[in-house]
Amino acid sequence: MSRNNYHILAIVTLTLLITYLHFGNIWQYSQRVVFEELYYLPLLLGVLRFRLKGVVVTWLIVSAAYVPFFSGAWTTTFPELLDRILHLVFTGAFTSVACFLAERERKNRKQTEKERYLAGIGQVATVIVHDLKNPLISISGFARRLREGKGDVTLAAQTIENSAQDMQRIVNSVLDFARPLQLDRKDVDILATIRRASESCRTKADSRNVTLAMQLPVTPATIVIDSFHIERALVNLIDNAVDASQPGAVVTIAVAFDRDDIAIIIKDQGAGMNRETLANLFMPFYTTKSDGTGLGMPISKKVIEAHAGTLIISSKQGVGTEAAIRLPYHKEDV
């Protein structure tokens, strides 16, 4: 049953219940009048759930349930008749005003979402243009030098290739963030995935004189994941830890198991992050790196949460940063 059907059922049931209490013989007349005000409840529910047409139908249902009170012992004098008429007028006025306010709120929210969407598109375009500008300049400059027969051909070709790879990396990052993840979950040795991710970052770590210290169990650990996406998320996190480290520092990659999940801890000895950086860490396109897209952390979080896991970053200035990943260990948890 859809949500609309549940709300319709709730409105009808509530209206019938109030009418039954209104008619019930176990209450004194003076007490029955209290239930008259309860008709505002299904009206309010209709306003909150439905648009104008649905609200009108709700008011008609509630009014139809109230019509019998115009006759019999309920209405024997003019003040009682006036009370019934005013009740219908006031419920109609209440419904109209509430519907107007709800519609205005819906329009404002829709406009806000549209503006946020357009602002996001503008932000994406700005980041892409900014990040693609430098490799495009390099490609253009070295292509011109090749055409003019100047400079080292091998160096020019290598620079053009590297710039093209940088552009491809930027485009892939934006696409990975924008499109839904298509996960291919399989039984995988998570320790092997962690080792591959570490090896992917080892060249960069060696060039910065940073040591990658692995603290992994000896026994393989099988877990249901998309190994490709998890490896990319780990590479992003380890790469960030290496970037934050000073020469001679150690980045520790540790694994621990409990009954329900696996914990992967990546810890560096860098300068740590201030409050502002930590608060905006998962905001798309937010970066403190001169050559970063600001999508590495959001993509990593997206991948881990798609596996029903969690990613928590804790950092203390002057001490370092720790990224804690928790992934469900059992197949039925995914």
Poorest-confidence range of 89-103, 127-141, 249-263, 270-284? 127-141
Predicted local distance difference test score (pLDDT) of residue 293? 63
Distance CA 95, CA 230 (A): 52
Mean pLDDT of 53-73: 76
Predicted local distance difference test score (pLDDT) of residue 120? 64
Question: Residue 204: what residue type?
Answer: K
Predicted local distance difference test score (pLDDT) of residue 22? 64
Q: Residue 97 burial by CB count (10 A; 0-12/13-18/19+): exposed, middle or buried?
A: exposed
Q: According to the per-residue pLDDT averaged within each range, which of 44-58, 170-184, 223-237 is highest?
A: 223-237
Reported as a single tens digit per residue, the pLDDT across 144-171 is 888 888 777 888 888 888 888 878 777 7
Closest CA to 163 of 285, 291, 286: 291
Model confidence at 325, pLDDT cuts 50, 70, 90, reads: very high
320-328 and 310-316 beta bridge pairing:
antiparallel
Reported as a single tens digit per residue, the pLDDT across 164-220 is 887 877 777 677 666 777 788 888 899 999 999 998 888 888 888 999 999 888 888
Cβ atoms within 10 Å of 63's Cβ, excluding its own: 17
Do residues 226 and 307 touch, judged by C-beta distance below 8 A?
Answer: yes
Predicted local distance difference test score (pLDDT) of residue 286? 66
Sheet with 310-316, edge to edge strand ranges: 211-215, 250-257, 261-267, 320-328, 310-316
**Model-level pTM?**
0.54
Q: Is the pLDDT of residue 324 over 90?
A: yes
Give the Cα-Cα-Cα angle 172, 168, 201 (nearest 5 degrees): 80
Model confidence at 26, pLDDT cuts 50, 70, 90, reads: very low
Reported as a single tens digit per residue, the pLDDT across 275-295 is 888 887 777 766 766 666 667
